[in-house]
Amino acid sequence: MTKIQINNEVRDMTAEEQAEFDARQVTPQTALASALEELRFKRNKLLSETDYLGASDNTMSSAMTTYRQALRDITNGLTTVAEIDVVIFPTKPSGE
């Protein structure tokens, strides 16, 4: 059991407090999941900015198609936070 200090009194955590404490601990797995979630959020925002180009009344350029595919593939093969930290997003084609 982990100790907790409340109002200058030290005591053992209750089972509920311990469970909450344990859930908040950062592990390599939770750090990776969090970093991937943040990367996907940024990627999805960039994709959403060009979604209108995929409407049936638009013709998407090959450069934009390539850009959007690169965004969708950006998380492929990432297995560590260090790899995620150095991801460089593709440049959006101009004129779109």
Asked whether residue 72 is domain-assigned, the answer is: yes
- pLDDT: which is higher, 64 or 18: 64
Beta-bridge partner residues of 5: 10
Q: Is the pLDDT of residue 57 over 70?
A: yes
Work out the number of other CB atoms within 10 angstroms of the CB of residue 94.
Answer: 6
The range of the structural domain enclosing residue 64 comes to: 26-85
- What is the spatial distance between Cα 52 and Cα 58, in angstroms, rounded to a whole number? 8
> What is the rounded average pLDDT for all residues in the chain?
88
Q: Write the pLDDT tens digit of every residue in 21-43.
A: 877 777 778 889 999 999 999 99
Residue 54 lies in a domain: yes
Is 14 part of a structural domain of the chain? no
Classify residue 6: in a domain, yes or no.
no
C-alpha 8, offset from chain centre: 39
Number of domains, the chain: 1
35 domain-assigned: yes
More confident: 9 or 43 = 43
Burial 50-86 (b: 16+ CB within 10 A, else e): beeeeeeeeeeeeebeebbeebeebeeebeeeeebee
Does the residue 4 lie in any domain? no
Residue 6, strand partner residues: 9
List, for residues 62-71, the tens digit of each pLDDT value: 999 999 999 9
